[in-house]
Structure 1
Amino acid sequence: MATAYGEHSSQIVHRRDPEVSSGPAPVAVLLHGGWWRDLHDARLMDPLARDLAAAGWAVWNVEYRRTGADGGGWPQSVDDVARALDLLAETAEREEGLDLSRVVAVGHSAGGHLALLTAAASPVASVVALAPITDLRRCAEAGLGEGAVEPFLGADPSPEEYAESSPLHRLPLGIPQLIVHGDADQRVPVEHSRDYVDAARLAGDPVDYREIPGEDHFAVVDPTSVAWRTVREVLGPVGAADAKGRAIPPDRPAPIGAR
């Protein structure tokens, strides 16, 4: 089911209802990567969306305006995600079945960047960032993403723009975070996440960091990978229901950010 949160064709959420239900469902907000470019879209997250819906999650797979001919960039792409999260809160007030106390934003690469930037002022309770982009100046100086930062931020960004658009320089976020990164990542070097996690913990944010040996940039969005199984273990089971359909809280693993 597709739900618009704006007038632009890319301002849309692809929703999946949980395939099993035991009361109001936790919500996974998915944000795809692709270095913010319009060559890539929300279908990149479809495998994770199917996996989470099958496990009992309500899934909001968010599309947003991207760079290229799509009209995205800074701050439009970030604003779009924030609007989609506002729609989630409004929808939960009108519809039954969404548990706003259990909303997790799951973002890959550029989607991880957007998740980290938008979570604090939203219904999101925690963030799962998969090989996220956290420092745009560092990415620009290394030419990562075939020079993707310039189309996103524009030519010659100011120091203030680099700082405002980088999760690393917006700490503390005040949100529990799980950062997952493969040490064989050739698109976003694993050192970026190592440094981000150190800085976030120093700033007081609760961060759980899982570095996956031998996995690359795209393994983290493969439902069969060690990285994704790690995410699912940390998120824990959705829960069972009693004879009257009331949710039974499961014995959950340590919450995100606890380690």
Structure 2
Amino acid sequence: MSDPQTDVEYNVRNTVSPELFDEIIGEYLARSERAVQGLRGFTDIYYDPHSQQKLDVWGVTDDPRPVFIAIHGGYWRALSRHHTAFMARTLDSEGIATVTVDYGLAPETTLEEIVRQVRAAVAWVYHHGAGHGLDPDRIVVGGSSAGGHLTGAVMVPGWQRALGLPETVVRGAMPISGLFDLRPLVDSFANEWLELDIERAHALSPLLLVDGPGPAAVIAVADRDGAGFLTQTHRFHDAWAEHSPCTLLVVPDRNHYDIFLDLADSTTALNRALVGMINGLAEQRSPAG
């Protein structure tokens, strides 16, 4: 049985009407399709032989570009990379490439495996990105909701060496309306598909794995978000800021779902923060290896 109060704090579907939810999710896909039309890129790349998951690369030129790896949300059980390319044309105009990533969905795929897959996607960009117009020394990762949690999972230390990566492979990060301490979800409706216990939730919680310096980060949340997401965003920002450059961005007049679309609009604070972070990366490059 789930805890009713926990369900209230973490069930963000109840923060918008069903009609608005359907409209925004439809915009994810429609805007993504329009954004990539005519953009130079590479599609349907198998980035992980084990899972056969795919990624797409958008907005490349003959010169290596910094890259934004966009990770979709959907409470780890819905959506795809095809819903997550809506910022590609706007970033292309700023000289930034976009990589959109699929991962296996719960409950068929465990959360440990989802995290492993997303880390494998980062490894693919580092090891193979140079052959696809990407600069492996200017990788920024971001995502919304479940994608915010998965962004946190690549921000923390301890996993890079096993994939042949430097600790600094992720140079910048933008988790948006994410969850960073999964222990409350053990007593929530979401555990119907996550099937977590406290020990596994602890091991999968970026907030509990912060251990020294990491990438610069903009940690963002909608001001109309769910209570649990707002609280966790503030907690993760405070923990990350103890060791690393970090900005907290609470976006006014946005909800849990439409905040992500701000990345496609060059006039928004979220887009400007992302572009500013990427433009601020050091230009020095080391061999991708």
With normalisation by structure 2, the TM-score equals: 0.69
Aligned to 1:195: 235
Structure 1 gaps, min length 5: 240-249, 254-259
Distance 1:10 1:223, change over 3 A: farther
Structure holding more helix per residue: 2
TM-aligned CA distance change 1:14 to 1:175, over 3 Å: same
Partner of 1:110: 146
Matched, 1:151 2:190: no
RMSD: 2.9
- For 1:227 and 1:105, the matched residues in 2 are separated by 18
The match for 1:256 is none
Secondary structure of the corresponding residue to residue 262 of structure 2: coil
- Offset at residue 183 of structure 1 (A): 1.3
Q: Offset of 1:24 from its aligned partner?
A: 1.9
Asked whether the 8 Å contact 2:172–2:277 carries over to 1, the reply is no
Match for residue 247 of structure 1? none
Change beyond 3 A, Cα 1:165–1:96: closer
**Of 246, 250, 256, which residue of structure 2 is paired with 1:211?**
250
Matched, 1:138 2:138: no
- Which deviations, in whole Å up to 9, do the C-alpha atoms of 1:224-258 show, x marking residues without a partner? 7889822322233699xxxxxxxxxx7x59xxxxx
The offset of 1:22, in angstroms, is 8.3
Offset, 1:25: 0.6
* Native 8 Å contact 1:106 1:128 kept in 2: yes
Change beyond 3 A, Cα 1:212–1:223: closer
**Residues 48, 199 of structure 1: CA spacing in aligned structure 2 closer, same or farther, 3 A cutoff?**
same
Asked if the contact 1:47–1:223 (Cα under 8 Å) also holds between the matched residues in 2, the reply is no
Indicate whether 1:31 and 2:71 are aligned: yes
Q: Secondary structure at the match of 2:111?
A: coil
How far apart in 2 are the matches of 1:201 and 1:238? 15
Structure 1 contact 140–150 (Cα < 8 Å) conserved: no
Partner residue of 1:73? 110
The one-letter code sitting in structure 2 at the alignment partner of 1:3 is I
* Contact 1:26–1:238 (CA under 8 A) maintained in structure 2: no
Unmatched runs of 5 consecutive residues or more in structure 2 = 1-42, 282-289
Give the AA of the match of 2:151. A
SS at match of 1:210: strand
CA distance in 2, matches of 1:206, 1:57: 21
Letter in 2 for 1:217: H
**Paired amino acid for 1:30:** A
Measured at CA, do residues 40 and 228 of structure 1 come closer, stay the same or move farther in structure 2, by a change above 3 Å? farther
Alpha-carbon distance in 1 for matches of 2:175, 2:266: 11
2:218 match: 178
| Closer/same/farther in 2, CA of residues 139 and 15 from structure 1, 3 Å limit | same
Query: Which amino acid in 2 is paired with 1:2?
Result: D
Distance in 2 between the 1:73 and 1:66 partners? Answer: 8
Q: What is aligned with 1:91?
A: 128
Q: Does 1:6 align with 2:79?
A: no
C-alpha spacing 1:23/1:188, structure 2 compared with 1 (3 Å): farther
Change (3 A) 1:227 1:114: farther
Quote the Cα distance in structure 2 between the aligned partners of 1:125 and 1:49: 19
In 2: Cα distance, 1:7 partner to 1:23 partner: 28
Distance verdict in 2 for CA 1:221–1:30, change over 3 Å = same
Q: Which residue of 1 aligns with 2:33?
A: none
Deviation at 1:85, TM superposition (A): 1.4
Normalised by the length of structure 1, the TM-score is 0.77
Tell me, in whole angstroms, the C-alpha distance in 2 between the residues paired with 1:24 and 1:227: 22
CA distance in 2, matches of 1:200, 1:171: 7
Q: Distance in 2 between the 1:72 and 1:82 partners?
A: 15
